[in-house]
Amino acid sequence: MRGRIFAVIAAVSLLVGCDHTTKHLAETSLRYSGPKVLVPGVLDLSYVQNHDVAFNLLSWMPTTWRAPLLLAIGVLAVVGLVVWLAKRRSAPPLQAVAVALILAGALGNTADRLLRGYVVDFIHVHRWPVFNVADIAVVVGVILLLIGPKITEWRSRAAPTPS
């Protein structure tokens, strides 16, 4: 059990570290130089200060309300995920990994909002909003939560039955 707790803490710390390192690199190398094209027409690195959430869903809300609301939601999400992990120590490993990924993403973006007042986004896959490592962690975590039960079901069906 302690090994699992250590693994979750290590994974979350590593992801948050990667997130903040890449955001710092984006801020120092892309902020004033403009986008760096990696695959023309497909992928580039572009510095963006995101004062909203994905797809600008809260753009209608005044910034004076939006900023504290997003910070509060981030803090509540982090606390809720930590409590979930603490109480569900016997959760299936895939579920724990998924929640750890979501926690890491929430921590990374919430820390940005707290320290900078905005989230640094820099990965731009064309025809898609600009995002960051924390966003990737959240999306992968949610996907794992959604498909985890199916994977468990497939594994149990594929497992040989004792004769």
**Per-residue pLDDT tens for 109-142?**
999 999 999 999 999 999 999 999 999 999 999 9
What is the pLDDT at residue 152?
A: 79
- Measuring CA to CA, which residue among 85, 99, 84 is closest to residue 137? 99
134 within domain boundaries: yes
162 within domain boundaries: no
80 within domain boundaries: yes
pTM of the model: 0.87
pLDDT category, 42, cuts 50, 70, 90? very high
Residue 163 has pLDDT above 80, yes or no: no
pLDDT digits (tens, 9 = 90+) for 62-118: 888 888 898 999 999 999 999 988 888 888 888 999 999 999 999 999 999 999 999
Active site residue 19: no
Name every residue whose Cβ is closer than 8 Å to that of residue 111 and which is 6 or more positions away in sequence.
16, 20
Whether the CB-CB separation of 99 and 84 falls below 8 Å is answered with yes
135 within domain boundaries: yes
Domain residues for 77?
Answer: 2-156
Active site residue 135: yes
Residue 1 has pLDDT above 70, yes or no: no
What is the pLDDT at residue 81?
A: 92
Residue 158 has pLDDT above 90, yes or no: no
DSSP β-ladder status, 119-125 and 43-50: antiparallel
Name every residue whose Cβ is closer than 8 Å to that of residue 51 and which is 6 or more positions away in sequence.
63, 66, 67, 117, 118, 119
161 within domain boundaries: no
- Measuring CA to CA, which residue among 59, 55, 28, 33 is closest to residue 44? 33
Q: Indicate the residue type of 51.
A: H
Alpha-carbon dihedral of residues 43, 47, 49, 50, nearest 10 degrees?
Answer: 10
Compute the distance between CA of residue 130 and CA of residue 135 in angstroms, rounded to an integer: 10
| Structural domain count of the chain | 1
Compute the distance between CA of residue 47 and CA of residue 31 in angstroms, rounded to an integer: 5
Considering only residues 32 and 160, tell me which one the structure prediction assigns the higher pLDDT: 32
69 within domain boundaries: yes
129 within domain boundaries: yes
147 within domain boundaries: yes
